[in-house]
Amino acid sequence: MQKKDCFYLGKVVRKHSFKGEVVIKLDTDEPDLYQNMDALFLEAGNNFIPFFIEKSLLQKGNQLRVQFENFTTEEDADSIMKCGVYLPLTLLPKLTGNKFYYHEVIGFTIEDENYGNVGSLVGVNDKTAQPLFIIENGDKEVLIPMIDDFIKKVDRANKKIVVETPEGLIEMYLDE
């Protein structure tokens, strides 16, 4: 399993008992979807190692208490502290309408209702206060805030996102 085939689900944040149990903080809006998993992958260096779940219990909203198979000691739990937790992309719930996962829209064409074709979506910057679409237009880069009011339509069939941005935003990047 490679990172490009997986999505980040959370992180092992602490030990729960002296019997090898750990708590995973889930990075999801729907933790209930992940409370009955059979297995998951932990990131160790550049490797993804499968871990099989003996039992799990969702607690405090987004914290999943997990007992892995063959994990019986505090030392076992210590060995995976702070490891990232991943699942295969095939297990992501399907989104519809204007909701999307960042990875699924890379390569989509961005079209503004007033400006026209803006370019190709090459990435998402989610390190800022407001996530931004990173769009390539020839040798220029256009940044559009990912605001629900701006996103008018996500057309998965034609790999296109239609937006309506404030007047002058796109021109600020593209006009000489």
What pLDDT does residue 19 have? Answer: 92
The answer to whether residue 96 is domain-embedded is no
What pLDDT does residue 25 have? Answer: 95
- Residue 157: enclosing H or E segment and its boundaries? none
Are residues 87 and 116 located together in one domain of the fold?
A: no
Reading the block at residue 128, the tokens are: 């800022």
End-of-domain residue from the set 33, 63, 91: 91
Any residues with CB less than 8 A from the CB of 48 and at least 6 apart, and which?
1, 2, 3, 6, 41, 42, 86
Query: Could you say which DSSP state residue 17 is in?
Result: S
pLDDT tens series, the chain, 176 aa = 778 888 999 999 999 989 999 999 998 888 998 988 999 999 988 889 999 999 999 998 899 999 999 999 999 999 999 999 999 988 888 888 888 888 889 999 999 999 999 999 999 998 888 999 999 999 999 999 999 999 999 999 999 999 999 999 999 998 86
For residue 162, the domain's CATH number is 2.30.30.240
What pLDDT does residue 3 have? Answer: 81
Are residues 117 and 76 located together in one domain of the fold?
A: no
Are residues 116 and 143 located together in one domain of the fold?
A: yes
Are residues 75 and 28 located together in one domain of the fold?
A: yes
The answer to whether residue 35 is domain-embedded is yes
Any residues with CB less than 8 A from the CB of 29 and at least 6 apart, and which?
none
> Could you give the number of structural domains in the chain?
2
Say if CB 41 and CB 1 are below 8 A apart.
yes
Q: Give Cα 4 to chain centroid, integer Å.
A: 11
Angstrom distance (rounded) from CA 103 to CA 97: 16
Are residues 85 and 106 located together in one domain of the fold?
A: no
The answer to whether residue 47 is domain-embedded is yes
Are residues 114 and 58 located together in one domain of the fold?
A: no
pTM over 0.95: no
What's the sign of the alpha-carbon dihedral 94, 3, 127, 58?
Answer: positive
The answer to whether residue 78 is domain-embedded is yes
What are the backbone angles phi and psi of residue 103, rounded to the nearest 5°? -65, -25
End-of-domain residue from the set 43, 64, 91: 91
What pLDDT does residue 97 have? Answer: 87
The answer to whether residue 61 is domain-embedded is yes
The conformational region for residue 155 under phi > 0 = left, psi -120 to 50 = alpha, else beta, is beta
End-of-domain residue from the set 91, 118, 139: 91
For residue 156, the enclosing domain spans 102-174
For residue 70, the domain's CATH number is 2.40.30.60
Strands 132-137 and 116-125, sheet pairing: antiparallel
What pLDDT does residue 176 have? Answer: 66
Are residues 75 and 7 located together in one domain of the fold?
A: yes
